[in-house]
């Protein structure tokens, strides 16, 4: 339902550089449906780095020790949004019970033969996770608790459509341990919602937010999308104003990306709809950034704003390039020195996990894994820089970078750092390197300066 951490990079001249990362599916980070992120669960390296080997060989990059996160992909939807390029399916609701069984099998398989790993965030993304019943979530959480050590402060997030969020349903989820919601508002404009083929209207968002507060959720995100075909700055201002009236704890704001094969992209390519303008994107982004800041929200990532203490800790795991397990059909994960993706088709995913594995696989690989590759140093450098520069306050920690790569970031990239700092696009501090306000609008160009210095 939301785009992943790689979506939403905004620049003046939006298409000056192809996105350096492509995400399709979750982990979607709080997003516009497409997390996101996600959640980064659909993570695709550039072609120069991509390796689609069933079992890669070579030297494994040593990733710093860290508690893990878990992303669980729920690929079912009641309708398909016109912009959606994620691994989602309609008319498969009958498969949900068997899919829950398969997820439990995958949870057991990935945890087999090892001490319980500490998990500090769990994220249910999709698709539309809110199509599952409380009883189905209870079963999944029981499986997670049996296989892993979920910390007492574990953040457990759910992506949801506004129409699904009745008070009773949310109270049941809250009792199970869910403590964070991401609600797919997307827009307050009825015409844009129709263009997106969304099934709700803005009144449903109001009802959902009221239900969330009554159910004692105190960390609620709203996903909104800007830059749809024909959308004016005035239209977008109306959405931002409406979102703030609902007083969310967190706002995720993503520029619409017209992914190939989606209904919206086909209509734009056919000339039925106007192609979004690059400068309009930047104007909308700047307007929303300033409006959210005046309303008391702090921007902590390119596309995310928080009230104090209400950041999405799950997405921080992605942006810090730390380990997470991706479970479910079409999920992507990063753990044990591997990046991997699972079987995308829900039916085949279910069939594969019906029988216990007859061979022992190295963590985190399971029978559901379709592709995996060992992460080498150039790939890890790329990922760490690309993700870290999304963090607008924290940026790239020089201490953590030196611990991971054996060298200070500034010493490794002196030319790029000096050039970008002189241009006012980068801030170089004693403990971190981060994008400036101007750099956020040209983030793709900034990233490119560092990527060209990595030996691929």
Residues 176 and 59 in one domain: yes
Query: pLDDT tens digits for 124-167?
Result: 999 999 999 999 999 999 999 999 999 899 999 999 999 999 99
Q: Looking at residue 50, what is its pLDDT?
A: 29
Checking if the pLDDT of 171 tops 80, the result is yes
Confirm if 319 and 388 have CB atoms less than 8 A apart: yes
Domain containing residue 421: CATH number? 1.10.10
Average pLDDT over the chain, rounded to whole? Answer: 87
Residues 104 and 210 in one domain: yes
Q: Is 152 exposed, middle or buried (0-12, 13-18, 19+ CB in 10 A)?
A: exposed
Mean pLDDT of 108-121: 91
Residue 419 included in any domain: yes
Query: pLDDT tens digits for 364-398?
Result: 999 999 999 999 999 999 999 999 999 999 999 99
Q: Looking at residue 456, what is its pLDDT?
A: 52
Q: Looking at residue 61, what is its pLDDT?
A: 59
Residue 221 included in any domain: yes
Residues 307 and 399 in one domain: no
- Domain boundaries, position 440: 395-451
pTM, two decimal places: 0.87
Domain containing residue 266: CATH number? 3.30.750.200
Residue 69: both structure tokens together = 């996160």
How many CA atoms are closer than 13 Å to the CA of 121, on its beta-carbon side?
A: 25
Query: pLDDT tens digits for 404-451?
Result: 999 999 999 999 999 999 999 999 999 999 999 999 989 989 999 998
Residue 6 included in any domain: no
Residues 155 and 274 in one domain: yes
Place 62 in a pLDDT band, splitting at 50, 70 and 90: low
Q: Is 12 exposed, middle or buried (0-12, 13-18, 19+ CB in 10 A)?
A: middle
Pairing of strands 426-428, 432-435: antiparallel
Residue 39 included in any domain: yes
Do you find a cis peptide bond into 419, omega within 30 degrees of 0?
Answer: no
In percent, the amount of the chain with pLDDT more than 70 equals 85
Place 28 in a pLDDT band, splitting at 50, 70 and 90: very low
How many CA atoms are closer than 13 Å to the CA of 350, on its beta-carbon side?
A: 14
Residues 53 and 199 in one domain: yes
Residues 267 and 412 in one domain: no
Residues 401 and 307 in one domain: no
Instruction: Provide the CA 202 distance to its chain's centre, in angstroms.
Output: 24
Query: pLDDT tens digits for 174-227?
Result: 999 999 999 999 999 999 999 999 999 999 999 999 999 999 999 999 999 999
Residues 180 and 288 in one domain: yes
Residue 186 included in any domain: yes
Residue 84: both structure tokens together = 């959606």
Residue 2 included in any domain: no
Which long-range contacts link 166-169 to residues 24+ away (Cβ below 8 Å)? Answer: 166/211, 167/211, 167/214, 167/215, 169/130, 169/134
Query: pLDDT tens digits for 272-290?
Result: 999 999 899 999 999 999 9
Q: Looking at residue 47, what is its pLDDT?
A: 29
Confirm if 138 and 104 have CB atoms less than 8 A apart: no
Residue 359 included in any domain: no
Place 117 in a pLDDT band, splitting at 50, 70 and 90: very high
Residues 316, 148: Cα–Cα separation, whole Å:
20
| End position of a domain, from candidates 317, 343, 360 | 317
The number of distinct structural domains making up the chain is 2
Residues 313 and 401 in one domain: no
Residues 425 and 308 in one domain: no
Residue 389 included in any domain: no
Residues 298 and 431 in one domain: no
Placement of tokens 């980068």 in the chain: 426
| End position of a domain, from candidates 317, 347, 369 | 317
Placement of tokens 């997670």 in the chain: 144
Place 44 in a pLDDT band, splitting at 50, 70 and 90: very low
Residues 191 and 95 in one domain: yes
More confident: 28 or 446 = 446
More confident: 185 or 20 = 185
| End position of a domain, from candidates 298, 317, 336 | 317
Which contiguous run of DSSP H or E holds residue 332? strand 332-335
């Amino acid at each position: 339902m939301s785009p992943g951490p790689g979506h939403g990079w905004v620049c003046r001249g939006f298409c000056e550089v192809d996105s350096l990362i492509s995400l399709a599916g979750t982990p979607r980070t709080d997003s516009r449906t497409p997390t996101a992120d996600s959640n980064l669960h659909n993570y695709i390296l550039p072609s120069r780095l991509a390796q689609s080997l069933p079992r890669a060989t070579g030297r494994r990059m040593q990733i710093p020790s860290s508690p893990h996160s878990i992303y669980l992909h729920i690929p079912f939807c009641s309708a398909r949004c016109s912009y959606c390029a994620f691994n989602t399916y309609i008319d498969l609701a009958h498969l949900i019970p068997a899919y829950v069984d398969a997820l439990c099998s995958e949870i057991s398989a990935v945890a087999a033969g090892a001490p319980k790993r500490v998990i500090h965030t769990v994220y249910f993304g999709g698709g539309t996770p809110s199509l599952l019943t409380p009883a189905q979530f209870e079963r999944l959480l029981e499986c997670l608790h049996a296989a892993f050590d979920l910390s007492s402060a574990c953040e457990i997030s759910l992506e949801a459509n506004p129409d699904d969020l009745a008070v009773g349903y949310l109270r049941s989820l809250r009792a199970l341990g869910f403590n964070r919601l991401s609600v797919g508002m997307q827009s307050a404009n009825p015409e844009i919602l129709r263009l997106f083929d969304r099934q709700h209207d803005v009144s449903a968002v109001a009802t959902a937010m009221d239900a969330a507060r009554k159910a004692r959720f105190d960390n609620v995100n709203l996903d909104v999308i800007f830059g749809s075909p024909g959308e004016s700055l005035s239209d977008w201002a109306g959405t931002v104003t409406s979102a703030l009236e609902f007083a969310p704890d967190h706002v995720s704001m993503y520029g619409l990306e017209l992914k190939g094969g989606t209904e919206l992209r086909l209509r734009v390519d056919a000339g039925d709809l106007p192609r979004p303008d690059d400068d309009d994107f930047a104007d909308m982004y700047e307007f929303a950034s300033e409006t959210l800041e005046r309303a008391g929200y702090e921007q902590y990532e390119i596309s995310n704003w928080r009230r104090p203490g209400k950041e999405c800790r799950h997405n921080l795991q992605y942006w810090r390039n730390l380990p997470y397990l991706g479970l479910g059909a079409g999920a992507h994960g990063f753990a044990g020195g591997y990046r991997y993706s699972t079987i995308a088709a829900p039916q085949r995913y279910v069939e594969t996990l019906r029988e216990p594995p007859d061979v022992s696989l190295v963590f985190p690989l399971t029978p559901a894994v379709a592709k995996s590759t060992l992460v080498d140093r150039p790939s890890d450098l790329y990922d760490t820089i690309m993700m870290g520069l999304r963090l607008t306050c924290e940026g790239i920690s020089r201490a953590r970078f030196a611990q991971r790569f054996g060298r200070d970031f500034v010493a490794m990239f002196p030319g790029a750092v000096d050039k970008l700092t002189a241009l006012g696009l980068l801030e170089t501090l004693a403990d971190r390197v981060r994008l400036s306000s101007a750099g956020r609008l040209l983030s793709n160009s900034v990233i490119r300066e560092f990527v060209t210095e990595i030996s691929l």
